[in-house]
Amino acid sequence: MRLQIGLFGRTNVGKSSFLNLVAGQEVAVTSPVPGTTTDVVEKAMELLPVGPVVFLDTAGIDDNSELAGARMKKTLAVFDRADVYVLITESPVWGGYEERIAAEAKAHGAPLISIINKIDLGVPDVSFLAAVQAATPNVVQCSSTDTGNRDTAVNAFKRLLLDTVPEGFLDSPPIIGDLLPPSGLAVLIVPIDLEAPKGRLILPQVQTIRDALDNDAAVLVVKEREFASIVQTLGRTPDLVVCDSQVVLKMTADTPSDVPCTTFSILFARAKGDLDELASGAAVIGRLRSGDRVLIAEACSHHAAQDDIGRVKIPRWLRQFTGADLTIDVCSGREYPGDLGRYRLVIHCGSCMLTRREMLWRLHRAREAAVPVTNYGVAISVLQGVVERVLHPFPSALAAYRDAGAHTGYVN
Ligand SMILES: Nc1nc2c(ncn2[C@@H]2O[C@H](COP(=O)(O)OP(=O)(O)OP(=O)(O)O)[C@@H](O)[C@H]2O)c(=O)[nH]1
Ligand SMILES: [Mg+2]
């Protein structure tokens, strides 16, 4: 299901020009003559980090010409279709027409984003700005005909879109349900070590169990030491084995080669972010060289244990694996550096503390800075030499990993 984005505004404010700016190409005809767009122009595209969208460029319905009646009918139909309303304005014009669009958005329960266009022609008027802001807090100022401001304007627009899109459009892929047949069996290997919280399982483990149950499958939870012997007594082969990344080497050794296996971290990379991208980022690990800078990004600010995974173990394994003199920075909690461009690779945590929106935005930021990103789980499985095995249940991610490696001659 594509997110339908309606572009509204008076004739000649630059609706079609804004669409062309976002698309990065001339998809809609623009001209100084009001009433250029007469029919709804639809443009489908993949707008990362939001996903598949379709823009509906409408005709302005503020003129009183003969054609206006027909045009108005088509634009009115878009009121019902749009999931997000984008109102294009130009200072100082704000009046009943703009109020009507804002009211329609409200009546349809759709978020409203306002684009103040043509800012190259002058600083927006103060009372106009106040009127725009009274209608919506989601405002971007831009000049649609100035390609120099494209990155800033389009990025600001994408951020607002990601923040406001209705929940259903960012629906995560399932955690594990689609990997199990009905009445299937998943074995979850959960180490109970010093880092395990007292008296309970952690959220990703609980969510995985719940998702299996929602899909009419069964779950066996076991520690890594008992895994091999207990599985032998089952009388059936598990459909999937999942482990904590820290015991991935033992899991792959103890799991028969015809049984699919993966890690919690990889399951959540898929559910929270973009597994294909994180898999292809992992191919960079083998190409790290002395002097390269790596960012370890941790979303929670937990108290670092002595043998902390992000601060101690991954840096140690990275240096051992690459033999390179790497500079490794760690950021935690809400901080995520603005200058990502200085890093050769970002290794992100499993992001159990982040929403899918937040994680998608972090991936987008790295993509914009042309920095590959991977996550703890995928990185650890590369460092342990088992990445192809644990990506095997996800063919497109495995292909992305291989492509990224093969591309530059890297062979795992
Ligand atoms: N200076 C300046 N001109 C712009 C900007 N955006 C659009 N224009 C110009 O404004 C005119 C109208 O632009 P369109 O994109 O066709 O406007 P529209 O809202 O789609 O108009 P209709 O389809 O007629 O409703 C064109 O001449 C554009 O080049 C801008 O940011 N700055
Ligand atoms: Mg137009």
Band (412; pLDDT cuts 50, 70, 90): very low
Which residue has its alpha carbon closest to ligand 1 atom 27? 32
CA 350, 313, 301, 349: dihedral to nearest 10 degrees? -20
Of the listed ranges 47-61, 237-251, 335-349, the least confidently predicted one is 47-61
- The answer to whether 266 and 394 are in contact (CB under 8 A) is yes
Give residue 410's pLDDT. Answer: 44
CA distances from 278 to 31, 65, 151, 176, 355 (A): 43, 53, 24, 18, 17
Smallest CA separation from ligand 1 atom 7, residue: 14
Question: Which atom of ligand 1 is nearest the CA belonging to 34?
Answer: 24
Are 117 and 144 in contact by the 8 Å Cβ rule? The answer is yes
Banded model confidence at residue 409, pLDDT cuts 50, 70, 90:
very low
Calculate how far, in angstroms, residue 34's C-alpha sits from the geometric centre of ligand 1: 9
State the residue for tokens 């650890």.
Answer: 380
The number of the ligand nearest the C-alpha atom of 9 reads: 1
Residue 65: what pLDDT? 59
pLDDT at 303: 65
The CA 67 to ligand 1 mean position distance, Å, reads: 20
Supply the DSSP symbol for 310: I
Q: Across residues 234-250, what is the average pLDDT? A: 94
pLDDT at 77: 83
Q: Which residues line ligand 1 (CB under 6 A)?
A: 9, 11-17, 30-32, 34-37, 59-60, 117-118, 120-121, 143-145
Residue 382, CA distances (Å) to 219, 279, 295 in order: 27, 10, 17
What are the distances in angstroms from CA 268 to CA 74, 176, 222, 265, 275? 43, 9, 20, 5, 8
Which of these ranges, 17-31, 199-213, 351-365, has the smallest mean pLDDT? 351-365
The predicted structure's pLDDT at residue 345: 97
Does the structure show a pLDDT above 90 at 289? yes
Mutate which of 8, 39, 145, 150 for ligand 1 pocket (most atoms within 8 A of beta carbon): 145
Query: How much is the mean pLDDT over the chain?
Result: 90
